[in-house]
């Protein structure tokens, strides 16, 4: 078996090395291969695009975190309507995304419920995912306190999926005693409403307008979460957005654990081309920029002037000073096993220039410290450089990235509906009630070009065969 290294190591399983609970990368993967999850699909789960987006996101993020497998049971007798999978059979898509389909769920597994909860005995860990307008929530199943799941805003469905998979992961890891026994949620219309986010004042208007074009800078963990989220929004068939996709890197095995639009067949291919092929298959148009983002970046005539930035590089962030985007949302994530769930957003232009937010002093990277596990591995494998490189890689998982994506896209979409933006937003996913940020303000940049969303029927039952 090939030894796991920085380019092949699963980026979430790496946390077991960082904590010192295992002695090798192989043991870390073996540990994570014991983690399993069930998704139960009850009546009504597919009746909205938000519900379909919730299921697809929960499954696609969970299979990359729960290496022991994700079992899906319940009603899969639908043809999907979300753009990325429009016209596809839900059961076929579920298998393609890595699900194990089960008709008789007998094993006790942590369970996420979409739609009506099962009538029989619930698992010890069983939470309901719900959404309404711009709000989303997870809560113990059977308590009857979820949101209505009626208004069709896929951003909220995706947010519910992210919280649900995160809660299940907290449970299997034993990182939070109350995981699965609490209600957690928020409003994307007013993300700083903490104690009263469920009030109707924060549900927001019907999702009516969507970005007509966007520039995605970086197509790693965050960039692909942006693309995935855009691919689940209610764009009309003849009005799918135009995206400029910018990245210079090729897909490595470790990317499969973090990137929602990459699979094993994409290894060694340029990320930008793999992502473009999937978006174009869904009717999107793309332009590819296969070079690093850097100083002197210019937006040409007829190119998108609004951008989502997903490059984890301080020097590149400082170069946003001269990028000439009229609106930019930048997201950054924590990188260690303690803080990888932390999300920080900046909406630009704002009160400070990027070079003032990320100072020249912050460009220099701190030396990588090796814990006892990495030192022992370096000595055993006679590979200090390789183990230092592995130790330097971030702990990362797409259920965090996709929450960052819905937060970022909400900053772009909210002004199209008369809402405000937040120049800074901090969201600790493990303890969502501690989110903070700058007071909302009117968008200082030029409004993003938009197209009207299509309210299309969702959840068409497939014909019996």
Token pair belonging to 453: 């969303």
Nearest to 50 by CA among 461, 459, 403, 399: 459
CA 4, CA 219: separation in Å to the nearest integer? 23
Distance of alpha carbon 307 from alpha carbon 55, whole angstroms: 27
SS3 content of the chain, % helix, strand, coil (to 5): 35, 20, 50
Backbone angles phi, psi at 370, to 5 degrees: -105, 125
Q: How far apart are CA 41 and CA 55, in angstroms?
A: 8
Catalytic residue among 145, 149, 385, 443: 385
385 counts as catalytic? yes
User: Distances in Å between the alpha carbon of 463 and those of 75, 89, 101?
Assistant: 14, 10, 19
- Separation CA 374–CA 18 (nearest Å): 8
**Exposure pattern of 221-259 as b/e (b: 16+ CB <10 Å)?**
bbbbbbbbbbbbbbbeeeebbbbbbbbeeebbbbbbbbb
CB atoms within 10 A of CB 305: 18
Active site residues: 385
């Amino acid at each position: 078996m090939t030894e796991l290294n920085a380019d092949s190591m699963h980026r979430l399983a790496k946390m077991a090395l960082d904590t010192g609970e295992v002695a090798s990368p192989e043991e870390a993967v073996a540990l994570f291969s014991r983690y399993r999850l069930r998704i139960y699909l009850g009546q009504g789960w597919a009746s909205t695009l938000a519900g379909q987006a919730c299921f697809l996101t929960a499954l696609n993020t969970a299979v990359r975190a729960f290496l022991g497998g994700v079992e899906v049971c319940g009603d899969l007798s639908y043809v999907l309507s979300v753009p990325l999978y429009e016209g596809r059979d839900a059961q076929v898509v579920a298998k393609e995304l890595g699900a194990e389909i089960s008709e008789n769920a007998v094993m006790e597994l942590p369970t996420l419920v979409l739609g009506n909860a099962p009538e029989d005995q619930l698992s010890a860990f069983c939470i309901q995912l719900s959404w309404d307008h711009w709000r989303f929530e997870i809560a113990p199943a059977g308590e009857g306190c979820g949101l209505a799941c009626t208004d069709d805003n896929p951003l909220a469905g995706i947010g519910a999926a992210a919280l649900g998979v995160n809660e299940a992961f907290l449970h299997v890891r034993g990182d939070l005693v109350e995981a699965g026994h609490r209600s957690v949620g928020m409003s994307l219309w007013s993300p700083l409403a903490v104690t009263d986010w469920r009030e109707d004042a924060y549900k927001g208007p019907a999702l009516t307008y969507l970005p007509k074009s966007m520039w995605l800078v970086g197509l790693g963990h965050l960039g692909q979460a942006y693309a995935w989220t855009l691919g689940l929004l209610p764009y009309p068939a003849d009005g799918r957005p135009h995206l400029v996709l910018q990245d210079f890197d090729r897909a490595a095995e470790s990317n499969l654990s973090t990137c929602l639009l990459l699979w094993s067949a994409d290894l060694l291919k340029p990320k930008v081309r793999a992502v473009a092929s999937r978006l174009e298959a869904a009717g999107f148009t793309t332009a590819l920029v296969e070079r690093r983002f850097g100083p002197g970046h210019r937006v040409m005539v007829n190119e998108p002037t609004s951008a989502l930035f997903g490059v984890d590089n301080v020097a590149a962030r400082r170069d946003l000073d001269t990028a000439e985007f009229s609106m930019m949302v930048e997201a950054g994530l924590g990188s260690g096993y303690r803080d990888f769930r932390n999300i920080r957003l900046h909406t630009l232009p704002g009160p400070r220039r990027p070079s003032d937010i990320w100072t020249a002093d912050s460009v220099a990277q701190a030396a990588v410290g090796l814990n006892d596990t990495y030192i022992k591995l370096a000595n055993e494998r006679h590979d200090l450089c390789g183990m230092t490189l592995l130790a330097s890689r971030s702990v990362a998982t797409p259920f965090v990235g996709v929450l960052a994506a819905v937060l970022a896209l909400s900053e772009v979409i909210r002004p199209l509906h008369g809402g405000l933006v937040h120049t800074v937003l901090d969201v600790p996913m493990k303890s969502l009630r501690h989110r903070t940020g700058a007071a909302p303000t009117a968008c200082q940049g030029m409004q993003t070009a938009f197209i009207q969303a299509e309210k299309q029927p969702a959840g068409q039952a497939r014909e019996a065969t």
